[in-house]
Amino acid sequence: MNEHKTANRRGRPRLKSNEENIGAPPVGALDRGIRVLIYIADTRSTTLAEISKVTQIPPATAHRLLTTLQQRGMVTHDVEQGKWRIGPQAYRIGSTFEEGSNLLEVAPPVMRVLSEETGETANLAIEEGGQLLYLTQVESDNPIRASFKNGTAAFFHTSGVGKAIMAFMDKDELESILTPLTLVSQTPNSITDIKELQEELRKSRHRGWTLDDEERFPGMRCIAAPVFDSLGKVVAGVSISGPITRFPDSKLETLAASVVKAATDISERLQS
């Protein structure tokens, strides 16, 4: 018997760190909460009694789960009707999944038009785990051009697209990015003072676009604008970048108008 148990243990494959143990038992409270959410979503609105009956969760337990979900914005409660409905946070999570999967579908065609119109490299980046991550790029045909590999991480504060995302974040999100952020100097033009950066973001938000003025690479400029989801939350930034000789002060407004239009087009496609 002991040898059989030992053999079973030895024969059981170990999961790699990036593999999910699909057969593992669910966490009880979390599993019950998800079952409640799924039932509410299926019925659109329902009562505590119905939730308890269908999910087979005791009423007292179901009520505690609903209260916790309500506090997190995952469900709402109509006191007059005694019914529970899906809340805004649950909707936001669902929208994020759909829009995140669509971003790489809807953005590239718009980026190609932007690159052809301006003659410059077009970039798309997102915030991921507190980092700026470049998702995709449409390169310019110019022999001297900006070029980043997909998946490249970069500093928020020295990137036009990073500043575009930060400028349109809500206060709490922005603070979560800025608090641990070390304002590294990549060039003499890099902003290394937090108050100066905050003022730059305020100005950028007001005009609707941001500028990397040789802050990441000497001799290179970048103009960027934010991309929004259906709830008005910034989910990405789109930009064009190239040598400063093709981004003179006299052309910035014209180039920026093209970038803002592209960002608006991507946002509208993402939301439709």
Each residue's pLDDT, cut to its tens digit, for the chain (272 residues) gives 444 443 343 333 333 333 334 344 557 889 899 999 999 988 889 999 999 999 999 999 999 999 999 999 999 999 999 999 998 888 777 655 555 558 888 999 999 999 999 999 999 999 887 788 888 899 888 777 666 666 678 899 999 999 999 999 998 889 888 888 889 999 999 999 999 999 999 999 999 999 999 999 999 999 999 999 988 999 999 999 999 999 999 999 999 999 999 999 999 998 88
Check if the beta carbon of residue 262 is closer than 8 Å to that of residue 255: no
Domain 26-86 matching CATH 1.10.10.10: the answer reads yes
172-201 exposure pattern, b = at least 16 Cβ within 10 A, e = fewer: eebeebbeeeebeebeeebbeeeeebeebb
Classify 23 as helix, strand or coil: coil
pLDDT at 25: 59
Classify 133 as helix, strand or coil: strand
The domain spans of the chain are: 26-86, 92-271
Write out the CATH class of domain 92-271: alpha beta
pTM of the entire predicted model: 0.64
